[in-house]
Structure 1
Amino acid sequence: MRGAILLLAAALGAGTVQAQEPPQPAPDAAGQAAGSPWTFSATGYWNMPRQSGDYLSGIFIAERKQLHLEARSNYEAVHSQSAFIGWTFSGGETIQFKATPIVGFVGGSTHGLIGGIEASVAVSKFDYYIEAEYLDARGEEPGYLYAWSELGFRPVEWLRLGLVAQRTRIYGGGRELQRGGFFQVTVRRFTAGFYWFNPGSTDQVAILSLGVSF
């Protein structure tokens, strides 16, 4: 957890900094207010790194009140699957915040235990989101801190754009910290997005995303 806190501070100073995936579409607030026992979201990402083959990754989230359950595929590494449980804390009016500490494990091409946090803060039309985790690879490799963060702005309710950064090993190569821009468009329960890391470089990575909340 100390590593996640340090990374959050570094990301704020840099303007943004993930392990591999952006934040998910928020569950429908009206459904929560009406007393719906569970909310769900699912997002798929088509990853297009310039120096390696394209691949699909995904995140599925189920929440009930403060309980947070999450499953990921091809996040920490290609051909890996991970699962988490967490507890959400939120509050604020003018400044709104949400934080979810999580613990879990990953299996497949990478094995290990994971501890992390997903957190966001929003003020008026601006917001900041960070997703960080520390993977203990159980003797296979040294532990590693993955992170993804976004600094966003909503000029209108259905459009969000801004800066994005991530720290990951999933693409290989020597560049672990990557920066770029993004935009998202939301129509009802669906959110589509485009992320562009290292624009114009040989390490360029483009990601298309499509998510739904229900």
Structure 2
Amino acid sequence: MKKRIGSFLFFALGGAFVFAQEAPASGPTAWQFNAHANFYFIPDDFFILPVFQADKNKLHLEARYNYEDRETFSAWIGYNFQGGNKLEYTITPMLGGVVGRSDGMAPGLEVTLNFKGFELYSEGEVYLDFQTEENHYLYNWSDLTYSPKDWLWFGISAQRTRVYQTALDIQRGVLIGAGLKNWELTTYVYNLGFEDPFVLVSISKQF
């Protein structure tokens, strides 16, 4: 199973790299990449959730690991709808395949709305397990932030996931982040005042 996941990841990311080499370095048709590393510091547990995204015009490609389940890889293809004036939006419906500890498929949606320094970001999916309907699950990660400066933002966050367990079905928290050039660092603190508080540190780079 690990060999199958590794081969899938190699060809998915390798294909994106080949396309990137063929694309011009600048201009409206160039590839844009975004790599994330999400570090979960949970009581008596720790894991990393990496995400890689590639966009070219309307095309959106994405790869995730440890998202739907531990030791599980998912690959996605989607279509970007972008526009707006005062209210800017990016809406990306997607379809993904999931292999690893969990095997299935998932329709998904990513939404980003920007208005006068406020941003709502939400990513959701309905995981459909190939083995049993009892494993079907609705995932969601949503952040609402305000940026007083281009390099600084803070806000609230909510997650619904199965990769870790707490007493709450929906993890709720606060966040603060900062950026420098193409790098971003965001720290989340979830479930303050409840039984299972934990910290998430997210590092991302655009290139």
Normalised by the size of structure 1, how large is the TM-score? Answer: 0.81
Counterpart residue identity of residue 203, structure 1? D
- Out of 95, 110, 131, the position equivalent to 1:103 is 95
Equivalent residue, structure 1, for 2:168: 175
Paired residues, what number?
183
Q: In angstroms, what is the RMSD of aligned CA positions?
A: 1.6
Tell me the CA shift for residue 169 of structure 1.
1.4
Does 2:66 match 1:74? Answer: yes
Q: Which runs of 5+ in 2 are unaligned?
A: 1-23
The answer for unaligned runs of 5 or more in structure 1 is: 1-30
Give the residue type in structure 1 aligned to 2:93.
P
Report the equivalent of 1:197. 190
Using the TM superposition, give the Cα deviation of residue 200 of structure 1 relative to its aligned residue in structure 2, in angstroms: 4.0
Superposition deviation, residue 137 in structure 1: 1.0
Question: Bigger shift: 133-142 or 148-157?
Answer: 133-142
1:125 equivalenced with 2:108 (yes/no): no
Q: Distance in 2 between matches of 1:212 and 1:130?
A: 19
Q: CA deviation at 1:67?
A: 0.1
Picking from 192, 196, 204, the partner of 1:211 is 204
Identity, in percent, stands at: 32
Q: Give the secondary structure class of the aligned counterpart of 2:45.
A: coil
Measure the CA separation in 1 of the matches of 2:172 and 2:197: 10
Which residue does 1:47 correspond to in 2? 40
Q: CA–CA distance in 1 between the matches of 2:124 and 2:28?
A: 30
The AA in structure 2 aligned to 1:104 is: G
Amino acid at match of 1:76: E
Equivalent of residue 164 in structure 1, options 157, 162, 168: 157
Please give the alpha-carbon distance, in whole angstroms, between the structure 2 residues aligned to 1:32 and 1:168: 37
Matches of 1:194 and 1:146, distance apart in 2: 21
Shift of 1:199: 1.3
Distance 2:29 2:105 in 1: 32
SS at match of 1:54: strand
Q: One-letter code of the match for 1:73? A: Y
Higher relative contact order (CA 8 A, sep 6+): 1
Structure 1 runs, 4 residues or longer, greater than 3 Å off: none
* Distance (Å, rounded) in 2 between the aligned partners of 1:36 and 1:101: 20
Q: Distance in 1 between matches of 2:72 and 2:45?
A: 16
TM-score (norm 2): 0.84
Residue of structure 1 aligned with 2:75, choices 62, 75, 83:
83
Distance 1:180 1:80 in 2: 25
Which has the larger Rg?
2
Indicate the SS of the match to 2:130. coil
